C-alpha cells in the first residue's frame, strides 16, 4: 500500500499546548479519538473508530520503532517515541507520543492510551536523520522480517554506542530547550 501513496510533503502542525489523544483495543483498533486527532489527521470519527491505528502510519516511519513500541506496551510498560504520521489527504505531522496500557480491575491490559504532543525542532533535527538511516537499513532487504531485524540491530547498535537505553535517549531529546518547539 505504501508504494501506491502519493504523499504531498506538506506538514500539518499543532501548538505545544495541544494534546492529540487516541485509545485503542489490544489489537490496535481505534476506540477513541479526540477532536484534535481528527482535525490533524483529516478524518471524521466515523472514519477512524474500529479501524487499525496503523491507518495513519507514514511510510517514512521505521518499522523497528513500532516493533519496540508494541513490545513495550504489550509488556505493560509505558513508552515515549517520536512518530511521523500520515493524514487522510497524504500530508504528515510529527508527534512526541506517550503510550500506556489501560488495565481492568484485575490488572489485565484492555487497551492502550496515547497522548501526543508537539516535538521540538531540535529533537527532530536528530530524529529525522536517525529514522532515515533506520528505514534505509530496513529497505535494503526484500524480506520484511530481515529488514525489521536490520533496523532493530542498527537501533540497538546506535543506543549501545551512545551508552543509553531507548527511554534515556528519548528523554534527553525531550529536555532540549522548550523555545525550540516546532509550532510556536
Tell me the residue range of the domain where 97 lies.
18-176
pLDDT in tens, 36-84: 999 999 999 999 999 999 999 999 999 999 999 999 999 999 999 999 9
Q: How far apart are CA 49 and CA 43, in angstroms?
A: 10
- Residue 108 in any domain: the answer is yes
5 pLDDT band, cuts 50/70/90, is low
Contact 182, 13 (CB under 8 A): yes
pLDDT in tens, 99-116: 999 999 999 999 999 999
Domain count, the chain: 1
- Residue 184 in any domain: the answer is no
Which CATH number belongs to the domain containing residue 132 in this structure?
3.30.450.20
Listed residue (64, 100, 62) closest to 79, CA to CA: 100
- Residue 5 in any domain: the answer is no
- Residue 161 in any domain: the answer is yes
pTM of the model: 0.89
Residue 34, φ and ψ in degrees, nearest 5: -75, 170
Q: How far apart are CA 105 and CA 57, in angstroms?
A: 32
- In this prediction, residue 64 carries a pLDDT of 97
- Residue 7 in any domain: the answer is no
The H or E element containing residue 154 is helix 144-162
- Residue 45 in any domain: the answer is yes
- In this prediction, residue 6 carries a pLDDT of 84
- Residue 2 in any domain: the answer is no
Cα four-point dihedral sign 96, 98, 99, 102: negative
Residues making up the chain, counted from first to last: 184
Amino acid at each position: 500500500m505504501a508504494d501506491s501513496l502519493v504523499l504531498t510533503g506538506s506538514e500539518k502542525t499543532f501548538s505545544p499546548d495541544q494534546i492529540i489523544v487516541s485509545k485503542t483495543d489490544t489489537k490496535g483498533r481505534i476506540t477513541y479519538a479526540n477532536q484534535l486527532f481528527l482535525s490533524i489527521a483529516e478524518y471524521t470519527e466515523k472514519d477512524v473508530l474500529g479501524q487499525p491505528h496503523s491507518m495513519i502510519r507514514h511510510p517514512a516511519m521505521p518499522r523497528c520503532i513500532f516493533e519496540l513500541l508494541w513490545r513495550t506496551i504489550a509488556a505493560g510498560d509505558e513508552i515515549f517515541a517520536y512518530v511521523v504520521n500520515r493524514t487522510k489527504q497524504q500530508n504528515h505531522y510529527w508527534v512526541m507520543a506517550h503510550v500506556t496500557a489501560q488495565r481492568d480491575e484485575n490488572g489485565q491490559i484492555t487497551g492502550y492510551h496515547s497522548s501526543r504532543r508537539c516535538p521540538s525542532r531540535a529533537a527532530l533535527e536528530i530524529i529525522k536523520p536517525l529514522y532515515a538511516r533506520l528505514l534505509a537499513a530496513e529497505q535494503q532487504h526484500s524480506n520484511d522480517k530481515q529488514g525489521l531485524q536490520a533496523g532493530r540491530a542498527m537501533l540497538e547498535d546506535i543506543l549501545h554506542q551512545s551508552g543509553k537505553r531507548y527511554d534515556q535517549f528519548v528523554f534527553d531529546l525531550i529536555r532540549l530547550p522548550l523555545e525550540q518547539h516546532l509550532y510556536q
